């Protein structure tokens, strides 16, 4: 898989064993995404045990964990200490809970705002107006760093629909850029657009993705 230099590859390692992550890491991959708090915490502990086993505390030291699943507020402590980016912030309640956890633990958390761009009503995420309210509202999130947006296209073989969904997310990102420097809850590096998976990443890149989430093309199918 060849990607433009500006596009980050996030290896979706959920439901795959730690050994598969190790193998991908040895091949050069650095960013891995999990969707269940318990699984993420278990893999972090497995890595810690591996370092002890090898007598090498720096083993896989530059691995980067992302969280991409629905995150419940009562599971924050299983995720936030370990991840460099929460891609799936889909409600103001969750945003506030993450901010409060960051304040209590003296940590600034990197997040993406998950936006609802699909025609699938079962999917979650913010609308364009809700994103604007977060960015421009009176509530200040001192312990949150909003890095950009994330979205999932409609599950369909119709490329026209998928492309339109991705284009909508790019438009929301462009709206955020208009607010940079206006005193809102973002700053100049709020430019990430996480969209595109194994089946549609090429379309996503054409429509402006800076970060694709790929699982099966790296690890194979899950059984």
- Quick one: pLDDT at residue 61? 97
For residue 194, the cross-strand partners are 150, 211
pLDDT at 223 over 60: no
Set out the domains of the chain in order of their start, with CATH numbers: 8-219 (3.20.20.10)
Per-residue pLDDT tens digits for 163-208: 999 999 999 999 888 877 666 677 778 899 999 999 999 999 999 9
Please give the Cα distance from 86 to 66 (Å, whole number): 6
How confident is the model at residue 149, as a pLDDT? Answer: 96
To the question of pTM greater than 0.85 for the whole model, the response is yes
Q: How many CA atoms lie within 13 A of 214 on its CB side?
A: 25
**Which residue matches tokens 């994330």?**
150
pLDDT of 132 above 60:
yes
What is the structure's pLDDT at 208? 97
Half-sphere exposure of 187 (CA within 13 A, CB side): 8
Identify the band that residue 137 occupies on the pLDDT scale cut at 50, 70 and 90: confident
Neighbouring C-alpha atoms within 13 Å toward the C-beta of 43: 28
Assess whether pLDDT exceeds 80 at residue 65: yes
Average pLDDT value for residue range 68-87: 97
Q: Please, which pLDDT band fits residue 17 given cuts at 50, 70 and 90?
A: very high
**Strand, helix or coil for residue 126:** strand
- Mean pLDDT over 209-220 rounds to 92
Q: What is the rounded average pLDDT of the residues 158-167?
A: 96
Buried b (16+ CB within 10 A) or exposed e, 18-57: bebbbebbeeebebbbbbbbebbbebbeebeeeeeeeeee
Q: How far apart are CA 203 and CA 163, in angstroms?
A: 6
Average predicted confidence (pLDDT) for the chain = 93
């Amino acid at each position: 898989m060849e990607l433009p230099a500006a596009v980050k590859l996030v290896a979706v390692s959920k439901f795959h064993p730690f050994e598969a992550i190790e193998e991908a890491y040895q091949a050069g991959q650095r960013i891995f995404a999990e969707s269940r708090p318990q699984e993420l915490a278990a893999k972090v502990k497995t890595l810690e045990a591996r370092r002890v086993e090898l007598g090498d505390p720096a083993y896989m030291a530059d691995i980067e964990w992302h969280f991409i699943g629905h995150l419940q507020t009562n599971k924050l402590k299983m995720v936030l200490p370990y991840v460099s980016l929460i891609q799936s912030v889909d409600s103001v309640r969750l945003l506030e809970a993450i901010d409060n956890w960051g304040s209590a633990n003296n940590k600034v958390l990197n997040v993406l705002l998950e936006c609802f761009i699909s025609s699938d009503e079962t999917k979650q995420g913010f609308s364009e107006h809700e994103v604007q309210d977060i960015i421009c509202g009176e509530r200040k999130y001192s312990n949150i760093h909003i890095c950009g947006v994330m979205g999932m296209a409609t599950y369909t073989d119709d490329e026209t629909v998928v492309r339109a969904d991705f284009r909508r997310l790019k438009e929301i990102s462009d709206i955020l850029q208009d607010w940079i420097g206006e005193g809102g809850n973002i700053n100049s590096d709020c430019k990430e657009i996480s969209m595109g998976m194994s089946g549609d990443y090429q379309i996503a890149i054409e429509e402006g993705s800076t970060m694709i989430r790929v699982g099966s093309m790296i690890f194979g199918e899950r059984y």
